[in-house]
Amino acid sequence: METVIEAVEPVAAAHDMSMFALFMQADWVVKSVMLGLLFASIACWAVIFAKAAAYARAKREMKAFDKIFASGEPLTQIYARLKDGPRTGLGALFAAAMEEWNGSHAENAASSGGLQARLRIVLDTTVAAESEKLDRSLSLLATVGSAAPFVGLFGTVWGIMNAFTSIAAAKSTSLAVVAPGIAEALFATALGLLAAIPAVIAYNKLSGDAGRLIGRLEAFADRVSVLLSRQLDARGNA
């Protein structure tokens, strides 16, 4: 009986089906695919947490600045608060518009049509810059979400090719010969889906959040442009 047990134990060990064992038994191509997908998944989760925190902070900052802007406080006082501090979101838009406003008046270049056109250009440029910050890194989620399943499928196809080669070499179609190679191959597809599914879900959610924040930036730019245009016309009629 002891002899039989000793003979069976090496066979069981040879067909360890744990995830680590499947990785170690795979050839270098499948291992490369698995490692690439693992690193892609880690990178995606890092982007997801970073962007979620950044968007939450941007929402708070926009809400706080919008409250100040709507309070009726003189624009010069609001600008004085931003002059030496960090400028992001709505604050960056307002500061850029006020700098053009003050610079134009300082250089006696505050004609109605010219200043309004310059303000529109400055606001559009700042909106584009802030939008680029909000959208940054989202392309990684889109790329991983679309490409990871195919990368995993490539690893699966390669692994199955190796499995059939092993079957031919062993001249046996028993489950003990077939199962390990097939399991290694399917593990690559599983990793591809593990990387892709959260990336796709997060991309849809975060891109929607970014779109709403960009919409707030564009709406605020219009409000600033209208307010400064009204003040400019009032000065011209004075």
d(CA 37, CA 109): 57
Examine residue 224 and state whether it is found in any structural domain, yes or no: yes
Cα 71 to chain centroid, rounded: 35
CA dihedral 191, 195, 196, 198 (to 10 degrees): 130
Look up tokens 């190679």; give the residue.
181
Any idea which of 5-14, 27-36, 211-220 has the lowest mean pLDDT? 5-14
| Eight-class DSSP state of 18 | S
Examine residue 118 and state whether it is found in any structural domain, yes or no: yes
Q: Which region, left, alpha or beta, applies to residue 174 given φ > 0 means left and ψ of -120 to 50 means alpha?
A: beta
Give the end-to-end CA distance of the chain in Å, rounded to a whole number.
Answer: 109
Residue 134: closest CA among 59, 40, 223? 59
Examine residue 14 and state whether it is found in any structural domain, yes or no: no
Domain that holds residue 104: 26-237
36 Cβ contact partners less than 8 Å away, ≥ 6 residues apart: 151
What is residue 86's three-state secondary structure?
Answer: coil
Examine residue 2 and state whether it is found in any structural domain, yes or no: no
Neighbours of 201 (CB within 10 A): 13
Examine residue 15 and state whether it is found in any structural domain, yes or no: no
| Number of domains the chain contains | 1
d(CA 145, CA 152): 12
pLDDT at 3: 46
Contact 207, 170 (CB under 8 A): no
Examine residue 209 and state whether it is found in any structural domain, yes or no: yes
State pLDDT tens for residues 161-209. Answer: 877 777 777 666 666 666 666 777 788 888 999 999 999 999 999 999 9
Examine residue 51 and state whether it is found in any structural domain, yes or no: yes
Examine residue 174 and state whether it is found in any structural domain, yes or no: yes
Look up tokens 């940054």; give the residue.
136
Whole-model pTM? Answer: 0.78
pLDDT at 22: 66
State pLDDT tens for residues 107-133. Answer: 766 566 777 888 889 999 999 999 999
